[in-house]
Structure 1
């Protein structure tokens, strides 16, 4: 039995983690920390967990987690706060899956540019493995620190991997147009996600400067072995959860749709959560699941790729558990199908 702790138990990603781990046969949730000084019972924070998980939130103390036999810590804290905790955990030998953005970008200059502050834990940054199983699967197995990927990057990266790996498209002429449900903004109240503001409304945000852009380019650049540039535009959709990205790429040669489908099915044949579909995917097809659904089209010689995920499961907590399963030698799909 593997003991886990969750840092920051009040958010949506923490709730999804708990629900997944409650059905994981090899996991015991040993501790949940909170920055709420009242340290409530978890069922008071998330009523859906009543009679399912009997545990009270506690103050973060890395040494106490170690003494209680915690094997893996999941960071569900905002960037900055997550790194401050993690740099206390790693020297004690516990492994970490961090769901914040603190360790996703290898370049501290890029982090400063997109997050507006210096990196909080440069000492451990070089040891972080980006937790994208379809790209860095072998490295994930032995990693001590996993930087869980963002939700938007997963749709963009998974949609483009086969074409970028084969360099079959113009690597500097890629457009990713993405839409996400409101839960992607987190549980903390904000004006733009206040119901009267976002209901019956549809809006783009952070055009040309979204923090996930360098994350997408970094990973696709690793796969291509050269610089990849994307135009990424996110949009807020007035629904609770779900994400749909439409990706446009310019091929270097002509493709038919059957050729594309053959390429993608071959590339993802060994990946259990990637589903290649003939029909156009919808967000309801992947709700509450760890699947990524992909459809392909050729339009006027250009390639159009459509990818759907649940932004809270595959977009965050589900892929975190997928990484955890790889790290601790469990079947990758355990508790996820």
Structure 2
């Protein structure tokens, strides 16, 4: 443990958007001490050199990846890393006695063949896939225990989508074969690396679909929905890139089963998420926007029933870097340590 019995944390992949957001949030966490910020590509340089907003806030030099050094400095390691990195690093970190919170997708899918099909790379060892706890806090938070060693943080699109759909699926109020998911993300979801599709001239005044029917978050969403439904669930899922920095909006459509009004849906969702402080269900007739959650760990949900078509429309919004990555990872850290789930996450959304 660190000074004043604080938990010591290391962040591998500190120079990506998820990593630097972890730094922002963890610096305000009362029970945490950041003891190592790690980047294989920028080791030896001050982190503020690449992120001037951290000048005189975090003066650390970036460390390289050294398992023995990490084990000496940290108790918990966050891995906001590209696909494939965590599959290699996590077993070594676990063997060194560390707890691991993986923010990549390497441990989300339980079937190796599913990971290899969708991610186009070799999966992690099945032993670790089986051990990893999927940390969708508002649904399976009770499975995140102080004994948990390996935590798989949900993806950004799955977080918004699953929080929007799971109450209706669990209640049996929608036709599972009718689910359509229309998902939109800000450009930060693509990461900090250089991509032609993320260039200003390509994104500004533009609105585009991508990875149609091929997005790697599809099997993660279907795996979770199938678990809740206790039967295979297949969805239509389409992602879009919108010209904004932060935010995800998923608009979901499904046929309603039985006689349920819009007011019934609102009340059922509020009961499902009762006591879960980061999910806010809107009153009937009001819809969430990405600005309403920007910079925060909230997920806002709106519901609209169309009696003419017999469909429910569910709108779910999150900040993709916070609730969709760093914020939910810290929420999971809190559960793993036996702390109050909201510790260090009392951020009011940034508005406008």
Bin of the TM-score, shorter chain as denominator length = over 0.9
Q: Alignment RMSD, CA only?
A: 1.1
- In the other structure, the counterpart of 2:116 is 112
Kindly report which structure 2 residues correspond to 1:277-296, keeping only aligned pairs within 5 A, or say none. 277-278=282-283, 279-296=286-303
- In the other structure, the counterpart of 2:164 is 159
Aligned partner of 2:187 among 177, 182, 186: 182
Q: Provide the C-alpha distance between the structure 1 equivalents of 2:201 and 2:106, rounded to a whole number of angstroms.
A: 32
List gaps (5 residues or longer) in structure 2.
1-5, 347-352
Aligned partner of 2:29 among 24, 28, 40: 24
- In the other structure, the counterpart of 1:128 is 132
Query: For the Cα contact (< 8 Å) 2:84–2:121, is it kept in 1?
Result: no
- In terms of mean alpha carbon deviation, does 133-142 or 2-11 score higher? 133-142
Matched, 1:46 2:24: no
Structure 1 segments of 4 or more deviating over 4 A? none
TM-score, structure 2 as length reference = 0.93
Q: Provide the C-alpha distance between the structure 2 equivalents of 1:215 and 1:171, rounded to a whole number of angstroms.
A: 16
Q: How far off its partner does 1:37 sit?
A: 5.0
- In the other structure, the counterpart of 1:267 is 272
Query: For the Cα contact (< 8 Å) 2:107–2:124, is it kept in 1?
Result: no
Kindly report which structure 2 residues correspond to 1:97-246, keeping only aligned pairs within 5 A, or say none. 97-141=101-145, 142-246=147-251
Matched, 1:80 2:84: yes
List gaps (5 residues or longer) in structure 1.
none
Q: How far off its partner does 1:111 sit?
A: 0.5
Q: How far off its partner does 1:325 sit?
A: 0.5
Query: For the Cα contact (< 8 Å) 1:84–1:121, is it kept in 2?
Result: no
Q: Provide the C-alpha distance between the structure 2 equivalents of 1:39 and 1:215, rounded to a whole number of angstroms.
A: 36
- In the other structure, the counterpart of 2:314 is 305
Number of matched pairs:
336
**3-state SS in 1 of match to 2:138:** helix
Q: How far off its partner does 1:12 sit?
A: 0.4
Q: Provide the C-alpha distance between the structure 1 equivalents of 2:168 and 2:328, rounded to a whole number of angstroms.
A: 23
Query: For the Cα contact (< 8 Å) 1:246–1:304, is it kept in 2?
Result: yes
Q: Provide the C-alpha distance between the structure 1 equivalents of 2:330 and 2:48, rounded to a whole number of angstroms.
A: 22
